[in-house]
Amino acid sequence: MLEMDFVGIASVARAAAHLTPRYHFAASPMHVAFEMAPYKNDNNRPMTRFVALADAFNKKKQKYVYALSATPLRIMNPAELFHVPEGVKESPLTYWHAANRTKEKKNASRWNELDPLRADSSWMPGSNENSTASKRNPTDHPDQTRYNPKRHRRASLKCRQHPMMNRMQGCWFCLSNPEVEQHLIFSVGEEAYLAMAKGGITNEHILIIPIDHGPSISSVNPSVWTEITKYLASLSTCFKSEGNAMLAWESAFKKNSDARVHAHLQIVAVPESIADEIGQRFQRESEKMGISLEKRDPDSKPITEATYFFLRIRETEWLATISPHVHVPLQFARQVVSDALGTPEREDWKSCTNTKEEEEQIVAQFAELFSDYDFNRT
């Protein structure tokens, strides 16, 4: 259980109570990522979800990135906005203020001497210009809020020099990269998200991408794999509604030490009538390269191999461990699928890219179809 005593900043708590945000994100002082149950706000305002994130690139692999799909207030249905789901708690801010009021008064003069800005809190939203400093004292922990330019520059430089930052700056799939093509994304979960493939084999060529940067699906946490399997089930059901079968694969030919790669699964809807034929093609082409596709129980543990090829057709899975001495073309699976669909010209994604307007239209069309199967919308 997390020890929450003496954690928090009074000025932030007051701001949260006044603004009643739908989401409240904060850095975890305990270096442990956690998410509280939604809590009620006063004055019949929408509930708030509080999420604390750990330090970036922490050694314990605690979550430090959080993705969500938020509908703007101006287009939300009021009934949806004010819906109170099960498990909603009372506001912790009420308890926090009561527990800290005596402590704040006791230390007011000492901390206001250290930080004159806190002594005058009239700039705070909803504050009373005539309020006294003792009524508005922020916290017992001034070092958490006082801005230290030298410390800020050191931390910023350390972050920029972190080797993981260099790996991720140009990553197409890291949501922290400002150059990510967000118009291709149409579903965001807790651990992974869905995006339309750029230069897809078909207009239903999807990518399942873990939010955290890692070289292969075998390198992700079990909770990530759990959400990936949920996405696989949802996509499979969606494709069945069109009379298609789901084909999924991962080409993990790079070692886990190669952190330039961001893991992803590729998903393509194929006609049900040729799904088995595609499976046979994969078997034949694999044997030609000296690799063996072995059937795998879909309910088995997450993949642990370092380099491998993963294939799934409908609910049947295969796995081939790739020896370091065997060369497998990176576009191996794409070539097999393109040939099976009679579109060999689409073996290379660069030769079949679309304009941004065309991509937006493709994404919107599939997102509408998938919305009934997206577990994030339930």
- What are the pLDDT digits (tens) for 112-127? 443 433 344 333 334 4
Domain boundaries, the chain: 10-144, 181-377
**CA 115, CA 359: separation in Å to the nearest integer?**
52
**CA 36, CA 352: separation in Å to the nearest integer?**
45
Share of the chain above pLDDT 90, in %: 30
pLDDT bin (cut points 50, 70, 90) of residue 267 is very high
* Closest to 60 measured CA to CA, from 32, 81, 85: 32
Residue 19: the pLDDT is 80
Of 149-158, 252-261, 276-285, minimum mean pLDDT range:
149-158
Give me the amino acid identity at 166: N
Residue 11: the pLDDT is 78
- Domain 181-377 fold: HIT family, subunit A (3.30.428)
pLDDT bin (cut points 50, 70, 90) of residue 158 is very low
More confident residue, 330 or 59: 330
More confident residue, 5 or 294: 294
Q: E strands, the chain, where?
A: 23-27, 34-35, 49-53, 185-188, 192-196, 205-210, 244-252, 265-271, 294-296, 308-313, 316-321
Tell me if the pTM is above 0.95.
Answer: no
Are residues 199 and 353 in contact, defined by beta-carbon separation less than 8 angstroms?
yes
pLDDT bin (cut points 50, 70, 90) of residue 142 is very low
Strands 205-210 and 265-271, how do they pair?
antiparallel
* Closest to 301 measured CA to CA, from 277, 288, 283, 317: 317
Kindly tell me if the per-residue pLDDT of 136 is higher than 50: no
